[in-house]
């Protein structure tokens, strides 16, 4: 369709070199042709042209002093992509690979993901090219304080509410929230992922991983399958991977492999999560240390090899484009019947094509990992009413939200004649709500 081709061309030209952003936009636009045919009013109102252009992009200097007294300078970002259905909402990523294109791809995906949750949240994302690895606690604190010293003027509980992402967990959220509170003299729900004694929500830590399994469970249940007795491979060993693994065990499956950016471990008896939590969450060490404690387990260098491990279900939960065409072929050859994306855009377009062709049930990240931001939305609600719900209450709400997202994505796919294509179903369902709001709000 001409409109979509023109928009894609303009995105490529206007955002030259931003590969991940182009990839994320292309995937959504590819789903929208039947929608625009049915809704000429979206074309007339320039909804697609507007939705691919962030409302605001902020880039700033983040100077901080390291432990040797030397001044270091990083770059900070916040992309406020779309606020049609609520305040901007999306995580902050601290990783050396961060650049404007990566933040834009994540912010763009966030628009549709947040829409799918059914909660009133717009899309945004931010971060820095700061590398938290190997930094002391003092360095992390000084960096976070400097980052917030600029960011505070752009955010607020009704404007933009950041959360964590790669490299940003409870510790970093704490230092940033502390700095915001100091500067503004306000105790408000301006960040989510807060500690339980200072405004956080129960289940937020577990939410993305748990939510991923709830979604995948719905998807495989619809085809008469379950986690019971299934072998599961999960990439990454961070927040998403660890709590996905925890839920896999609760649902009766067995996790046989986990990874980090250096390599992966294979434990045929099932990975012992207590050990992984201690190594990664408390000691902040490498996944290779696992084999020092469990001698029967094996460690392999290189994180990509994890997809050659035989499994029934694969949950890529590390980073974008970590699962390519060859990895998808290896999974199919080994009999994997379902893939659920815990990370954002972990599968390349070629890999997704292989899954669809081979009838592997495929849950796209936009839908499957929305449990994190959904629970952040629940944290915002609790902050607004100054109350804390119990673990069971939040977990129940999370479960319902994930089941609704699955239902919405699969029914939308069916309504557009694309049965079982949850990529298209999620893109279209997420888009419709935002597009209708944009229409109602005027240009
Ligand atoms: P963490 O920082 O807690 O963990 C990230 C994990 O992925 C680590 O094991 C890390 O290994 C690995 N990793 C990071 N970068 C790479 C890379 N370039 N290659 C290989 N492995 C890598 O992050 P999260 O678990 O929070 O996030 C993981 C993914 O889930 C991201 O795509 C994120 O955007 C997405 N996500 C997170 C949500 C959340 O609530 N946290 C919500 C929705 C999506 P190492 O330690 O070696 O760097």
Domains of the chain: 1-53 (no CATH), 54-187 (3.40.50.10860), 207-368 (3.40.50.720)
Q: Whose CA is nearest to atom 21 of ligand 1?
A: 261
Distance from C-alpha of 169 to C-alpha of 319, rounded to nearest angstrom: 16
pLDDT band at 225 (very low <50, low <70, confident <90, very high): very high
Cβ of 114 closer than 6 Å to ligand 1, yes or no, is no
Q: How far is the CA of 316 from the centre of ligand 1 (A)?
A: 10
Is 359 a known active-site residue? no
For the CA atoms of 68, 69, 74, 76, what is the dihedral angle to 10 degrees?
A: 120
Q: How far is the CA of 241 from the centre of ligand 1 (A)?
A: 8
Cβ of 342 closer than 6 Å to ligand 1, yes or no, is yes
pLDDT of 352 > 90? The answer is yes
**Three-state DSSP string of the chain:** CHHHHHHHHHHHHHCCCCHHHHHHHHHHHHHHHHHHHHCHHHHHCCHHHHHCCCCEEEEEEEEEECCCCCEEEEEEEEEEEECCCCCEEEEEEECCCCCHHHHHHHHHHHHHHHHHCCCCCEEEEEEECCCCCCCCHHHHHHHHHHHHHHHHHHCECCCEEEECECCECHHHHHHHHHHHHHHHCCCCCCCCCCCHHHCCCCCHHHHHHHHHHHHHHHHHHCCCCCCCCCEEEEECCCHHHHHHHHHHHHCCCEEEEEECCCEEEECCCCCCHHHHHHHHHHCCCCHHHHHHHCCCCEEEECHHHHHHCCCCEEEECCCCCCECHHHHHHHHHCCCCEEECCCCCCECHHHHHHHHHCCCEEECHHHHCCHHHHHHHHHHHHHHHCCCCCHHHHHHHHHHHHHHHHHHHHHHHHHCCCCCCHHHHHHHHHHHHHHHHHHHHCC
Residues 245/255, Cβ–Cβ less than 8 Å: yes
Q: Average per-residue pLDDT in the chain?
A: 98
Cβ of 401 closer than 6 Å to ligand 1, yes or no, is no
- Residue to mutate, 208, 236, 315, ligand 1, most ligand atoms under 8 Å from C-beta: 236
pLDDT band at 426 (very low <50, low <70, confident <90, very high): very high
pLDDT band at 7 (very low <50, low <70, confident <90, very high): very high
pLDDT band at 370 (very low <50, low <70, confident <90, very high): very high
Residue 221 pLDDT: 98
Smallest Cα–Cα separation from 413: which of 343, 338, 356?
356
Residues 265/257, Cβ–Cβ less than 8 Å: yes
Residue 314 pLDDT: 98
The model's pLDDT over 50-68, given as tens digits with 9 standing for 90+, comes to 999 999 999 999 999 999 9
Q: How far is the CA of 318 from the centre of ligand 1 (A)?
A: 4
Distance from C-alpha of 9 to C-alpha of 429, rounded to nearest angstrom: 24
pLDDT of 430 > 90? The answer is yes
pLDDT of 196 > 90? The answer is yes
Distance from C-alpha of 268 to C-alpha of 296, rounded to nearest angstrom: 9
Q: How far is the CA of 55 from the centre of ligand 1 (A)?
A: 26
Q: Which of 89, 104, 113, 125 is catalytic?
A: 125
Distance from C-alpha of 360 to C-alpha of 354, rounded to nearest angstrom: 8
pLDDT of 417 > 90? The answer is yes
Q: Whose CA is nearest to atom 30 of ligand 1?
A: 343
The model's pLDDT over 378-415, given as tens digits with 9 standing for 90+, comes to 999 999 999 999 999 999 999 999 999 999 999 999 99
Q: How far is the CA of 439 from the centre of ligand 1 (A)?
A: 35
- Residue to mutate, 238, 303, 321, 401, ligand 1, most ligand atoms under 8 Å from C-beta: 238
Cβ of 24 closer than 6 Å to ligand 1, yes or no, is no
Mean pLDDT of 327-346: 98
Q: How far is the CA of 317 from the centre of ligand 1 (A)?
A: 6
The model's pLDDT over 32-52, given as tens digits with 9 standing for 90+, comes to 999 999 999 999 999 999 999
| Residues facing 299 on adjacent strands | 265
Smallest Cα–Cα separation from 53: which of 85, 79, 35, 89?
79
pLDDT band at 82 (very low <50, low <70, confident <90, very high): very high
pLDDT of 361 > 90? The answer is yes
Residue 1 pLDDT: 85
The model's pLDDT over 398-408, given as tens digits with 9 standing for 90+, comes to 999 999 999 99
Residue 197 pLDDT: 97
Mean pLDDT of 358-374: 98
Cβ of 261 closer than 6 Å to ligand 1, yes or no, is yes
Residue 202 token pair: 């129960």
Smallest Cα–Cα separation from 163: which of 94, 73, 101?
94
The model's pLDDT over 237-289, given as tens digits with 9 standing for 90+, comes to 999 999 999 999 999 999 999 999 999 999 999 999 999 999 999 999 999 99
């Amino acid at each position: 369709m001409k409109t979509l081709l023109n928009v894609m061309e303009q995105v490529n030209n206007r955002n030259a070199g931003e590969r991940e952003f182009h990839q994320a936009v292309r995937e959504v636009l590819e789903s929208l042709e039947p929608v625009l045919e049915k809704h000429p009013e979206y074309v007339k109102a320039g909804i697609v042209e507007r939705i691919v252009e962030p409302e605001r992009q902020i880039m700033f200097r983040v100077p901080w002093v390291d432990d040797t007294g030397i001044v270091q300078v990083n770059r900070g970002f916040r992309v406020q992509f779309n606020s049609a259905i609520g305040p901007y909402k999306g995580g902050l990523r601290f990783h050396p690979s961060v650049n404007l294109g990566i933040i834009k791809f994540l912010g763009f995906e966030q628009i549709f993901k947040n829409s799918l949750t059914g909660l009133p949240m717009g899309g945004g994302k931010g971060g820095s090219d700061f590398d938290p690895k190997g930094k002391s606690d003092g360095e992390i604190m000084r960096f976070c304080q400097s980052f917030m010293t600029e960011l505070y003027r752009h955010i607020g509980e009704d404007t933009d509410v950041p959360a964590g992402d790669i490299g940003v967990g409870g510790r970093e959220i704490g230092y940033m929230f502390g700095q915001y509170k100091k500067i503004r003299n306000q105790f408000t729900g301006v960040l989510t992922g807060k500690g339980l004694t200072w405004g956080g929500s129960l289940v937020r830590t577990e939410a993305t991983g748990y939510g991923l399994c709830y979604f995948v469970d719905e998807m495989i249940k619809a085809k008469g399958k379950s986690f019971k007795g299934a072998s599961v491979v999960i990439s990454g060993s961070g927040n998403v991977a660890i709590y996905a693994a925890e839920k896999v065990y609760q649902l009766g499956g067995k996790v046989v492999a986990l990874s980090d950016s250096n390599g992966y471990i294979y434990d045929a008896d099932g990975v012992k999560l207590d050990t992984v939590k201690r190594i990664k969450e408390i000691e902040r060490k490498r996944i290779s240390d696992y084999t020092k404690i469990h001698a029967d387990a094996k460690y392999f260098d290189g994180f990509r090899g994890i997809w050659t491990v035989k499994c029934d279900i694969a949950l890529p939960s590390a980073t974008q484009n970590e699962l390519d065409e060859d990895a998808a072929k290896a999974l199919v050859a080994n009999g994997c019947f379902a893939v659920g994306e815990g990370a954002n855009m972990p599968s390349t377009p070629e890999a997704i094509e292989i899954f669809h062709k081979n009838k592997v049930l495929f849950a796209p990240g936009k839908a499957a990992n929305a449990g994190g931001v959904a629970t952040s939305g629940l944290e915002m609600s609790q902050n607004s009413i100054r109350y804390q719900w119990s673990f069971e209450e939040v977990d129940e709400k999370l479960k319902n939200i994930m089941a609704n997202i699955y239902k919405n994505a699969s029914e939308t796919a069916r309504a557009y004649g694309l049965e079982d294509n949850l990529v298209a179903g999620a893109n279209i369902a997420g888009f419709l709500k935002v597009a209708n709001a944009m229409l109602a709000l005027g240009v």
